[in-house]
Structure 1
Amino acid sequence: MRVLVVEDDDDLRFAVAAALRSGGLAADAVPDLPAADEALFITEYDCAVFDRMLPSGDAVDYVHGLRRSGRSVPVLFLTARDTVADRVEGFAVGGDDYLVKPFAVPELVARVRSLCRRTALIRPPLQQFADLRIDTARRQVHRGGILLILTRKEFAVLELLAARPDQAVPRGDLIAKCWDEMAEPRSNVVDVLMSQLRRKLGDPPLIHTVRGVGYRLALPDTPGSSDLGR
């Protein structure tokens, strides 16, 4: 899941993005509304976190414009304005959540994760593929009844593959959903992670390379597997 953070305070922007990444989310961070506009045009986000009052304008007005244009990305406002009228205004223009500064970082991560689950690609709390069991609530993976220890990034990639079983998931989709702007798309980060993930999942292999496209979660004898390479 990928999140956009819009915050003009450099220290807070860095801290929020770092906390989200530590929580297993991909996070891009920008300082103002023009940069947010560009990021939202280029990338499909599962959630956006806006500081309410920015030098470039009130994020409430900006989000109102997003909603009028048909953009439905879930939005959480961060703000020092804590009156009931302020919160009502934020919700009235299409905001989905409202967190008053100062805030507890674990609460922010939990609220953002909850908003991410509201996006179009809603994953069930439990995903089962062959003998692979993915518990998205507990963020645990079992294969053949054995608990596997995965990194946050490995879990995110496997969760996305499991949401599209037997389908080729393009590398671009994996990068867009599971990596943020800190990653170099042309590097081999995806290949390295896939190699590590395959090793942890064991045999028979479930993750296959679809040449020229990306990766697929499939049984070895799945029809059409002739285009797959391990």
Structure 2
Amino acid sequence: MPIVPAPRILVVDDHAALRSQIVSVLESAGWRVEEASDGRLALQMVLEQPPDVLLLDLGLPGLDGLNVCAQLRERADRHVPVLMLTARDTLSDKGRGFAAGADDYLLKPFASEELLWRCQALARRGELGRSPVLQRGALRIDRRSGEVHSGDRLVEVNGHALRLLVALAEAWPRTLSRSELLQQLWSDEPPASDALRSHLYTLRQNLGEDQHLVKTVHGVGLRLDVPDDGGG
């Protein structure tokens, strides 16, 4: 079964009302959305866990969109598609944005449909350059086929247990909080109160002798506990 998680986007804008409107549009379309209101926080968030698309306002206070984009291109270990938001429609402004590393521009005010079209196009572009295989230590997860191997052993994992494993592998070595996992697995459809615990139990049962790889960090969340030599 192919695992195609909902695309994840970081929306960066210091205007709370506009940011809230954008978040609502994207979440209604099935995106997993995170928010930031300033450039320094946004840069930190992207470097720690790169989103599928970065929606970045040009005119941020402090570290502006141009500097965020330029530093991202210098410091990130993979390409994160950047859609720059701006009220400036001059050729020179656009030129500076593209020179800093932006992939596309969207002029304010904009239609919700155009926002979605451009974000979807950038997500597809980013997906083309991303391997479908996640290698974490001896654990190998093929997001295209849904197959999981631990060394030479095929591990039978399906449904939400598989989605949970993929989420942990994509976030590795970071610990995911319960709220982050609920958002990634169910988006805006809140599950039963014990659903996450149930799928965690199923995942550990599926992993068998490797169930210790899914570690509970008490008071924080869950993480994949594999050595830092797996690549992928």
- Give the TM-score, by structure 1 length: 0.59
**1:184 is the counterpart of 2:191:** no
Q: Does 1:121 align with 2:139?
A: no
1:92 to 99, 102, 116: 99
Aligned to 1:110: 117
Whether 1:8 and 2:3 are equivalent positions in the alignment is no
Is the 2:12–2:42 Cα contact (8 Å) retained in structure 1? yes
Please list every run of 5 or more consecutive structure 1 residues that lacks an aligned counterpart in the other structure: 124-159, 196-207, 215-230
Amino acid across the alignment from 1:50 = L
Once the 2 structures are TM-superposed, how far is the Cα of residue 86 of structure 1 from its aligned partner? 1.0
The corresponding residue for 1:143 is none
**Cα deviation per residue 1:159-185 (whole Å; 9 max; x = unaligned)?**
x985243126562533797xxx99714
Aligned twin of 1:77 = 84
1:5/1:48 contact within 8 Å kept: yes
Deviation, 1:103, is 0.3
Q: State the AA in 2 paired with 1:121.
A: R
Residue 163 of structure 1 corresponds to 144
Name the structure where helix makes up a greater proportion of residues. Answer: 2
Call closer, same or farther: CA 1:186–1:102 in 2, change over 3 Å. Answer: closer
Gap regions ≥5 residues in structure 2: 1-6, 133-140, 150-161, 171-175, 196-204, 215-232
Residue matched to 2:52: 46
Distance 1:172 1:107 in 2: 33
CA distance in 2, matches of 1:188, 1:52: 28
Alignment size in residue pairs: 163
Partner of 1:92, secondary structure, is: helix
Measured after TM superposition, the shift of residue 96 of structure 1 is 0.2
The equivalent of 1:131 in structure 2 is none
Measure the CA separation in 2 of the matches of 1:110 and 1:103: 12
Give the distance between the partners of 1:30 and 1:188, measured in 2 at CA: 17
Residue of structure 1 in register with 2:74 after alignment:
68
Which residue number corresponds to residue 167 of structure 2? 174
Identity of aligned residues (%): 30
Change over 3 Å in CA distance of 1:189–1:32 after alignment to 2? closer
Q: CA RMSD in A?
A: 3.5
Question: TM-score if structure 2 supplies the norm length?
Answer: 0.59
